[in-house]
């Protein structure tokens, strides 16, 4: 740095004490490195910038070396991780753009705004790249239903997700909601957006063109969300309530205008680069744009549109006010760009320009108030190989050692009406899941189906994770999450193309947690390779802990697949009486880490179900082929609660019962393990043509057997009395509205 600037910087007069450094979440080592890079002590503004850029949230310092091991390329990958969202080729000149991101910490502190701004943030990641968002999904994990905060958090998060998505006019088509005491002090709110763009018009964030204007558009900058990224990288304690001011406030109306204005401008050739203002606001966005372009940037902070007077550079640079974007505009196109944003009544301000200095220079009233080198700061961002150890295998759990229920029907009624397996109708009816008039497969099925506008093709989208399995065996759990997400796509007739992942874990500085993270990433990588679904985007959320207790490991997978003909898809509902019900895949009756074990018996033990990726691929290919060939009338993947729960869901969706019998060769498996076991790679399908379907399975080397026939007003399990659909429905639909006090 030049000598002439030094006096100005010193004049900002900040004395950086060790306490201030600690408050900014930097270790002593990291602070020393910051001094090395600057060649002097930073002032408070600069310290704030270091803190944000090197936070776990922005730097991925604990996970980076493991994320690099994931498969990220493939024939249809256009852009993998590293941009705002992943981009895949979906044919006919179009690309799907998608990503999932967490907003866990803010949602626990302030559930409505936390969830709402989570949705807003992920939407921006997608339309920043030139895609029109066509679907939102949400993976939500709450604490035990009887925990005093849970009801309040459920109500707030669901209202926030709906409040934002409904107003923006992007359908919320699916996701997950689960309850576990492990999230009592730290809920998870993971939001996913999928968009569609012309594949030759993808916008990225790498700046170019020294002298080009840096333009700020959208909402004004306020004092909200300052240091959100640092908060999101810290554990919670009993004082966390005091962090409420670090939660941002969402304005979905402005987001809607921003979407339309950006897409309108993107149809011209005015934009060189574009980046949304997310975590760490202006700091992170301008840094990334300049860093990716190998350039410098000079910002004149007097020109930043502010919500109130007297905001300091520190506040402006670290504010996480929502609904803002940064763009680099082609020279001479500024006025045309301004006209678009003025049409939509949005702020538009030239706040700086690109330089060749490789530095970020921040000016206020003509004076330099901050001056940092870009590449050294980005490159020196810490990267840790934190200690981990493969976790010991969990002891096997023989099905025989797990007590059978007195009455399978009653056990099924209990499970289908339990917090984790009951109907989520109460949730999805608060989300507009039909706006844009392309929702072909609505919530409640295995995967959402959203038609590609003005075509007969559709994207299938699902999110999945089974933390019970990840806890028992991180590697198997990671693989299972990918396998099940893909199974959900296969079950509607879609070809899985790629995934996004949202890795939610506790404090990685503890070996136990780091081992979970490593194991899950290994499992995800193996499954993605085997199933041909690369990871194209993702997010890591660590330090999900309260008072030293980590959440269950929760690597949520969002999978996207393609349907070529919406007429050749299936749902889970039984379609007609008298059809054969066929179970596809091998059933051994695995009860370890199952819902039956946990919810019917109150036991958390046993290993995760083995994941045979070759079988997943084989069985999935078979099922997809059958659906595309019009040879099955309904299909459902088997997951939590196993066969019995899947049967009940199909019967309820179709309002049509079934009679079920265990096939002869299942006699070695105890009945309750056959009914409630959670063996993987399995599907239920219905057909009027049993013979040819079983032949096709045999030819593919896939186990398949008829287990029953559809029909009647009740579901009859082997050796049990008929359970009326009315009774099943009352149990299934009753719990959540009752719990929420409706």
Partner 1 sequence: MKAAVVVFPGSNCDRDVQVALRQSMPGAAGNGGPVMVWHKDADFEKVDLIVLPGGFSYGDYLRCGAMAAHSPAMTEVVRRAKSGVPVLGICNGFQMLTETGLLPGALLRNAKLKFVCRDVHIRVETSQSLFTGRYRAGTALRVPVAHHDGNYVAAADELDRLEERGQIAFRYCEADGAITEAANPNGAARNIAGVFNETKTVLGLMPHPERLADPALGGIDGRPLFDGLVEALS
DSSP state of 393: P
Q: Does 263 bind partner 1 (CB under 8 A)?
A: no
Min. distance of Cβ 554 from partner 1 in angstroms?
Answer: 27
Q: What 3-state class would DSSP assign to 353?
A: strand
Q: Determine if 568 is a binding residue for partner 1 (CB under 8 A).
A: no
CB of 567 to partner 1, least distance (A): 8
Which span sits near partner 1 by CB under 8 A: 252-260, 577-585, 661-669, 679-687? 252-260
Torsion on CA atoms 420, 426, 430, 433, rounded to nearest 10: 70
Q: Which of 149, 151, 223, 442 binds partner 1 (CB under 8 A)?
A: 442
**Min CB(457)–partner 1 separation in Å:** 11
Q: Which of 252, 553, 609, 720 binds partner 1 (CB under 8 A)?
A: 252
Q: How far is the CB of 445 from partner 1 (least distance, A)?
A: 12
A 10 A CB-CB count for 226 gives 24
Please tell me which residue in 24, 76, 103, 590 is annotated as part of the active site: 103
Q: Does 432 bind partner 1 (CB under 8 A)?
A: yes
> Is residue 575 close enough to count as binding partner 1 by CB under 8 A?
no
Q: Is 442 left (phi over 0), alpha (psi -120 to 50) or beta?
A: beta
| Residue range at the interface with partner 1 (CB under 8 A); choices 7-15, 204-212, 425-433, 521-529 | 425-433
Residue with Cβ nearer partner 1 (29 or 92): 92
Q: Pick the closer one to partner 1 by CB: 447 or 645.
A: 447
Which of 199, 433, 475, 624 forms a contact with partner 1 (CB under 8 A)? Answer: 433
Residue choice 275, 439, 463, 633 for contact with partner 1 (CB under 8 A): 439
Residues that bind partner 1 (rule: CB under 8 A) add up to a total of 33
In total, the chain counts a number of residues equal to 742
Given strand 439-441, what is the order of strands in its sheet? 439-441, 448-451, 458-464, 554-563, 495-504, 535-541
**Tokens (6 digits) for 741:** 């006090």
Characterize the bridge pairing of strands 77-79 and 535-541. Answer: unpaired
Name the token pair of 339. Answer: 């006209």
Q: How far does CA 240 lie from the centroid of its chain? A: 24
Q: What angle do CA 528, 533, 539 make, to 5 degrees?
A: 75
Report whether 627 contacts 582 (CB < 8 A).
no
* Closer residue to partner 1 (CB): 379 or 429: 429
The vertex-573 CA angle with 720 and 709, nearest 5°, equals 40
Residue 636's SS3 state is strand
CA distance readout (Å), 280 to 86, 451, 519:
21, 35, 30
What does DSSP assign to residue 397?
-
- d(CA 110, CA 703) in angstroms, rounded, equals 49
User: What residues pair up with 503 in beta bridges, in sequence order?
Assistant: 540, 555
Q: Which stretch binds partner 1 (CB under 8 A): 22-30, 163-171, 183-191, 379-387?
A: 163-171
Query: Applying CB under 8 A, does 163 fall inside the site for partner 1?
Result: yes
436 binds partner 1 (CB under 8 A): yes
Among 194, 232, 234, 257, binds partner 1 (CB under 8 A): 257
Active site residue 103: yes
Distance, in Å, from the CA atom of 57 to the CA atom of 234, rounded to the nearest integer, reads: 10
| Binding track, positions 222-251, relative to partner 1; x by CB under 8 A | -----------------------------x
- Report CA torsion sign: 482, 488, 490, 494: negative
Among 435, 653, 696, 705, binds partner 1 (CB under 8 A): 435
Q: 420 or 438, CB closer to partner 1?
A: 438
How far is the C-alpha of 191 from the C-alpha of 178, rounded, in Å? 15
Residue 163 vs 657, nearer CB to partner 1: 163
Candidate list 24, 57, 353, 590, residue with the active-site label: 57
In the set 5, 16, 145, 169, which binds partner 1 (CB under 8 A)?
169
Stretch that binds partner 1, among 159-167, 290-298, 365-373, 467-475 (CB under 8 A): 159-167
- By the rule CB under 8 A, 726 interacts with partner 1: no
Closer residue to partner 1 in complex, CB, 76/124: 124
Q: What are phi and psi of 388, to 5 degrees?
A: -150, 165
The first and second tokens of residue 112, run together, are 């409505």
Helix ranges (H only) for 370-459 are: 374-379, 408-416, 425-428
* 112 contributes a contact to partner 1 by CB under 8 A: no
Give the binding site for partner 1 (CB under 8 A): 159, 162-163, 166-169, 251-254, 256-257, 344-345, 428-440, 442, 451, 456, 566, 742
Active site residues: 57, 103
């Amino acid at each position: 740095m030049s000598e002439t600037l030094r006096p100005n910087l010193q004049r900002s007069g900040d004395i950086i004490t060790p306490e201030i450094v600690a408050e900014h979440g930097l270790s002593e080592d990291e602070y020393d490195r910051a001094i090395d890079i600057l060649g002097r002590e930073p002032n408070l503004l600069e310290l704030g910038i270091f803190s944000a850029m090197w936070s776990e949230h922005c730097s991925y310092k604990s996970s980076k070396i493991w994320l690099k091991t994931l498969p990220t390329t493939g024939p249809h990958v256009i852009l993998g991780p590293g941009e705002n969202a992943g981009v895949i080729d979906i044919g006919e000149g179009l690309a799907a753009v998608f990503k999932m991101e967490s907003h866990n910490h803010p949602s626990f502190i302030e559930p409505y705004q936390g969830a709402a701004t989570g949705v807003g943030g992920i939407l921006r990641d997608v339309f920043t790249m030139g895609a029109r968002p066509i679907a939102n999904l949400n993976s939500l994990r709450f604490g035990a239903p009887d925990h005093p905060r849970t009801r309040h958090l459920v109500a707030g998060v669901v209202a926030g997700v709906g409040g934002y998505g409904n107003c923006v006019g992007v359908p919320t088509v699916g996701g997950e909601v689960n309850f576990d005491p492990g999230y009592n002090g730290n809920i998870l709110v993971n939001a996913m957006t999928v968009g569609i763009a012309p594949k030759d018009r993808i916008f990225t964030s790498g700046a170019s063109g020294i002298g080009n204007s840096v333009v700020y558009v959208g909402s004004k900058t306020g004092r909200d969300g300052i240091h959100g990224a640092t908060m999101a990288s810290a554990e919670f304690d009993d004082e966390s309530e005091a962090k409420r001011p670090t939660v941002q406030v969402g304005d979905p109306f402005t987001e809607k205008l921003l979407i339309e204005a950006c897409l309108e401008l993107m149809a011209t050739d005015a934009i060189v680069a574009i980046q949304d203002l997310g975590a760490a606001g202006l700091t992170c966005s301008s840094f990334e744009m300049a860093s990716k372009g190998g350039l410098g940037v000079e910002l004149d902070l007097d020109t930043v549109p502010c919500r109130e007077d007297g905001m300091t550079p520190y506040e402006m640079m670290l504010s996480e006010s929502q609904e803002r974007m940064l763009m680099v505009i082609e020279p001479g196109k500024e006025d045309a760009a301004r006209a678009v944003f003025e049409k939509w009544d949005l702020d538009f301000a030239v706040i700086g320009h690109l330089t060749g200095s490789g530095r970020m220079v921040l000016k206020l009233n003509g004076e330099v108030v901050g001056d940092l080198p870009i590449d050294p700061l980005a490159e020196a961002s810490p990267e840790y190989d934190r200690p981990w150890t493969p976790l010991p295998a969990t002891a096997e759990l023989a099905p025989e050692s797990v007590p059978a229920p007195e009455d399978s029907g009653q056990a099924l009624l209990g499970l289908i009406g339990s917090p984790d397996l009951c109907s989520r109708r109460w949730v999805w009816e608060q989300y507009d899941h039909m706006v844009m008039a392309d929702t072909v497969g609505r919530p409640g099925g295995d995967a959402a189906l959203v038609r590609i506008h003005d075509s007969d093709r559709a994207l299938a989208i699902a999110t999945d994770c089974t933390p019970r399995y990840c806890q028992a065996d991180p590697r198997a759990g990671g693989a299972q999450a990918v396998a099940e997400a893909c199974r959900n796509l296969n079950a509607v007739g879609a070809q899985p193309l790629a995934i996004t992942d949202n890795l939610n874990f506790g404090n990685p500085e503890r070996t136990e947690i780091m081992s979970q993270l490593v194991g899950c990433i290994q499992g995800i990588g193996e499954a993605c390779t085997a199933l041909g679904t690369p990871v194209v985007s993702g997010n890591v959320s660590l330090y999900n802990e309260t008072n030293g207790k980590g959440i269950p490991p929760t690597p949520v997978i969002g999978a996207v697949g393609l349907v070529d003909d919406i007429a050749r898809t299936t749902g889970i509902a039984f379609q007609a009486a008298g059809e054969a019900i066929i179970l596809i895949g091998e059933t051994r009756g695995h009860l370890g880490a199952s819902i039956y074990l946990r919810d019917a018996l109150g036991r958390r033990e046993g290993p995760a179900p083995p994941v045979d990726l070759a079988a997943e691929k084989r069985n999935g290919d078979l099922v997809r082929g059958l659906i595309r060939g019009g040879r099955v009338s309904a299909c459902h993947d088997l997951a939590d609660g196993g066969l019995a729960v899947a049967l009940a869901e199909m019967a309820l969706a179709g309002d049509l019962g079934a009679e079920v019998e265990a096939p002869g060769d299942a006699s070695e498996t105890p009945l309750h393990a056959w009914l409630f076991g959670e063996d993987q790679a399995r599907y239920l399908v219905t057909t009027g043509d049993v013979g040819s379907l079983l032949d096709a399975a045999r030819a593919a080397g896939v186990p398949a057997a008829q287990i029953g026939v559809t029909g009647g007003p009740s579901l009859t399990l082997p050796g049990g009395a008929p359970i009326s659909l009315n009774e099943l429905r009352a149990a299934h639909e009753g719990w959540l509205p009752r719990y929420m006090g409706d």
